[in-house]
Every structure is written in structure tokens, then in C-alpha cells.
């Protein structure tokens, strides 16, 4: 079974009807089997962006409560690898991206749901392309 990791962009787009990729993000979330995995850095970014756009971000907590969204990643246990990625891809990579790339290394069969084109540049396990699910 393919594990789906979800980045900030699709979460924000799925909730914020004013986002350009709202229909695409809603369709992806409806089609993918839960749970979708993410990290706390992504949730922090998404909550900030949603509040900045005048929303509440409450949907994020609803998805967590329902089990549709899961956070099973601890930076504490992965700080060396996350830091290595963060430095390797500086200044392009932000903290949430580093966590997502590290998470992608934890599963063999994984896809990252993202709007961030920087993921075309990042690699997992040094040289492997990260499978992506992005709008065309």
C-alpha cells in the first residue's frame, strides 16, 4: 500500500476556497485513502496561512481527530537527518520541507501530495526521486 504524505499547500488549498488549487486539492483528499501522514511543521505552516487568510484552521484539528490526518513523525528522533537535509538544500528548503523529505525516506512505497515545485529538486536517500502527486 502506498503511503501518502501531505504537504502544506494541499492542506491550505483544500480548506481555503479562495485558493487556486482548491478543487484539485479537494478531489485529491477525497480520492486518497486515509490516513494521510504529515508533520507538525506542516500543520504549523498550514494553520498560520489559513489564519492569515482570515480562516480558523479548525478543519486541520477535525481531520486529526477523525484520523484522516496523522502525525507520526518526531523531529526529536530525526533531528540529525532533518538538519542534514536542511543544510544540504539551503536556502531553498524550509524546515517543513526537510521533515517531509525525511518522512519520505521512512517508507519504501510513498508519494508526497504537494504544490511545492521544489520537491522536484529534492532527493530521498541521497539520489532517489521523490514520487509526487501535484496538479498538472
Region 48-60: what's the mean pLDDT? 95
Domains of the chain: total: 1
**CATH code at position 19:** 3.40.50.1010
Q: Look up the domain containing 90 and give its range.
A: 3-133
Answer whether 110's CB lies under 8 Å from 2's CB. yes
The model carries a pTM of: 0.95
Kindly tell me the burial class for residue 107, based on how many C-beta atoms sit within 10 Å of its own C-beta (0-12, 13-18, 19 or more).
middle
Write out pLDDT tens, residues 31-44: 999 999 999 999 99
Q: Give DSSP secondary structure letters for 42-110.
A: HHHHHHHHHHHTT---HHHHHHHHHTSEEE---HHHHHHHHHHHHHHTTTT--HHHHHHHHHHTT-SSE
- Going across the sheet that includes 3-6, the strands are 69-71, 36-38, 3-6, 110-113, 132-133
Measure the CA–CA gap between 130 and 125, rounded to whole angstroms: 9
Average model confidence (pLDDT) across the chain: 97
Write out pLDDT tens, residues 107-120: 999 999 999 999 99
pLDDT of residue 136: 85
pLDDT of residue 127: 95
Amino acid at each position: 500500500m502506498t503511503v501518502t504524505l501531505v504537504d502544506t499547500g494541499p492542506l491550505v488549498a483544500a480548506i481555503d476556497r479562495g485558493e487556486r488549487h482548491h478543487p484539485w486539492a479537494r478531489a485529491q483528499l477525497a480520492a486518497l485513502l486515509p490516513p494521510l501522514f504529515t508533520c507538525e511543521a506542516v500543520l504549523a505552516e498550514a494553520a498560520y496561512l489559513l489564519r492569515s487568510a482570515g480562516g480558523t484552521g479548525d478543519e486541520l484539528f477535525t481531520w486529526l481527530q477523525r484520523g484522516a490526518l496523522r502525525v507520526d513523525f518526531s523531529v526529536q528522533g530525526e533531528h540529525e537527518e532533518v538538519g542534514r537535509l536542511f543544510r544540504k538544500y539551503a536556502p531553498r528548503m524550509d524546515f517543513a520541507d526537510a521533515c517531509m523529505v525525511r518522512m519520505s525516506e521512512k517508507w519504501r512505497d510513498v508519494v508526497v501530495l504537494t504544490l511545492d515545485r521544489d520537491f522536484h529538486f529534492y532527493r530521498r536517500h541521497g539520489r532517489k526521486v521523490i514520487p509526487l502527486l501535484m496538479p498538472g
